[in-house]
Structure 1
């Protein structure tokens, strides 16, 4: 039995990512209340094997909670090799979930059942209203009344819809959520996809506790020929006032012919502002950088690590993982 924690409740898009990553019948999916709880539980609970958390969305960008938790794990790391942080967790896989919103009812019904005499109440997470605004506007024009009600999660909205049961007279209670949420709650899909922007996708990371005999690079198992692998690296540069300090770090990749896939940043604050040894301790407006790059054969990784160490205050390799095939899917 493999125990997987994920950002709950059941039926969320993170649940879908966990199902994609661990389709085995022996997988046990454990919903947790928040992203911090997923990190904390994986570190402290030895019965958990993995945790699945959202990282970024193709439309809305970073999931800052996840980025900041990675930052804080590196910031408060207890183990170092020189200035390379060896955190308690590592990244071992990625997943991509298409964010396709569905109009959901407790019992099977058709859009034709919604007419000028119908008063409709729709429950969903507040973020959904903007993602399906055009659809809701059109739906509102075909019914007598359309009311939207906020819920704490899309999956929770489906539960509320199911508890309301079958339509009473001209009163209809619906929800907007994922197909997984409908399946988990035994509900029926009335219409899908209803989001205004198609191709919206969220990327998820799978983490596990770091094994002491698992090197940061290269990853195990060995790279299969023709299968792309990606490494995640975070680092804090030397003084931002030093011209080219960021470029100096990135040039390590260039010099070793390593292709960088992405770069982003988050604010950084030293955990001990009283420290005099660390030049970053008293500085404001400093940033931690997140970069991803393609794992390349024939690279001297020992040399890469050495050069990274000489050009950064602190850095961390989070792991190397196979590029998921859904990454290459195009929007339709």
Structure 2
């Protein structure tokens, strides 16, 4: 039996990502309240096997909470091999979830019956309003009144809608959420997808406690196109803020003909001094603001001598961390 933590409650897109990666009967899905808690629970609760966290969105970019936690885990790492951090967690899979929003009701309702005598309340997470502006504008023009009510999550919005029901004539309670949330609460999907921008997708990572000798999880869904294609995620801090310091690291990839899929950065905070920290920073570097940690993703070619790659990155960075190597998901290649 596999126990998977994810950003709850049940019915969220994180829950959907967990279902896609772990569809087997008997899997236990454990919702937690925050992204940091996903990491903390996995590290400390041995009853958990994996955690699923959002990494980035095709429209809005980085999920900064996740990036910053990876940064802080590298900073606070107690185990090193030279200047390579060996945190207790590793990345072993990725999933992609389409952010398709639906209009949901507790029971079957005919949308064509809505008119100027109909008063409508819609529950959802505040972020949803900006993603369904055009649809809600058209709905508001059709009905007598339209109230948008914030909820803590889209799944919670469906629960509120179902609890309220639609027993009063000409007063309708609806929710905007995913089909997963509708199915969870045995609600009815009246229309969908209703989001203004189609193709919006969130990428999720699956982590486990570090097991260097065990392979990553199988790709879900499996595909002959990506069967043997792997990618690796690396974070690093350059030795100094000087011309070419970042290029020196990236040239290691070029020298070994390694394709870099992406690069991004987050503000870097030097860790407090302790006996486990790598103490190579000069005094001025510790005082200087506007330092950054870099995140890169590369294709993991099995023909490459990765011992030499690691040695090259090590000699050109202050500290670095390989977060894991995993199979590329077929949905990475979708064009819309």
**Alignment-derived partner of residue 196 in structure 1:** 196
**Runs of 5+ consecutive residues of structure 1 not aligned to the other structure:** none
After TM superposition, the structure 1 = structure 2 runs for residues 47-58 of structure 1, keeping only pairs within 5 Å, are: 47-58=47-58
Question: TM-score if structure 2 supplies the norm length?
Answer: 0.93
**Alignment-derived partner of residue 304 in structure 2:** 299
In the alignment, the residues of structure 1 paired with residue 159 and residue 183 of structure 2 have an alpha-carbon distance, to the nearest angstrom, of 11
Mapped contact 1:272–1:281 kept (Cα < 8 A): no
Determine if the alignment matches structure 1 residue 286 to structure 2 residue 291.
Answer: yes
In the alignment, the residues of structure 2 paired with residue 259 and residue 239 of structure 1 have an alpha-carbon distance, to the nearest angstrom, of 25
**Alignment length, in residue pairs?**
325
User: Judging changes above 3 Å, is the alpha-carbon distance between structure 1 residues 145 and 330 closer, same or farther for their aligned structure 2 residues?
Assistant: same
After TM superposition, the structure 1 = structure 2 runs for residues 72-87 of structure 1, keeping only pairs within 5 Å, are: 72-87=72-87
In the alignment, the residues of structure 2 paired with residue 142 and residue 319 of structure 1 have an alpha-carbon distance, to the nearest angstrom, of 51
In the alignment, the residues of structure 2 paired with residue 235 and residue 195 of structure 1 have an alpha-carbon distance, to the nearest angstrom, of 37
1:325 to 327, 330, 334: 330
Determine if the alignment matches structure 1 residue 262 to structure 2 residue 262.
Answer: yes
Mean CA deviation greater in 87-96 or 159-168 = 159-168
Alpha-carbon offset, residue 108 of structure 1: 1.4
**Alignment-derived partner of residue 132 in structure 2:** 132
In the alignment, the residues of structure 2 paired with residue 64 and residue 151 of structure 1 have an alpha-carbon distance, to the nearest angstrom, of 22
Question: TM-score if structure 1 supplies the norm length?
Answer: 0.94
**Alignment-derived partner of residue 156 in structure 2:** 156
Alpha-carbon offset, residue 220 of structure 1: 8.4
**Alignment-derived partner of residue 221 in structure 2:** none
**Runs of 5+ consecutive residues of structure 2 not aligned to the other structure:** 219-223
User: Judging changes above 3 Å, is the alpha-carbon distance between structure 1 residues 48 and 226 closer, same or farther for their aligned structure 2 residues?
Assistant: closer
Alpha-carbon offset, residue 227 of structure 1: 2.9
Alpha-carbon offset, residue 111 of structure 1: 1.3
Alpha-carbon offset, residue 212 of structure 1: 5.1
Task: Give every structure 1 segment of 4 or more consecutive aligned residues whose post-TM-superposition deviation is greater than 4 Å.
Answer: 218-221, 273-277
Mapped contact 2:124–2:175 kept (Cα < 8 A): yes
Determine if the alignment matches structure 1 residue 311 to structure 2 residue 312.
Answer: no
Mean CA deviation greater in 273-282 or 116-125 = 273-282
Alpha-carbon offset, residue 298 of structure 1: 1.4
Alpha-carbon offset, residue 207 of structure 1: 0.3
**Alignment-derived partner of residue 121 in structure 1:** 121
RMSD: 1.7
Alpha-carbon offset, residue 297 of structure 1: 2.5
Mapped contact 2:90–2:210 kept (Cα < 8 A): yes
Mean CA deviation greater in 271-280 or 9-18 = 271-280
Mapped contact 2:234–2:295 kept (Cα < 8 A): yes
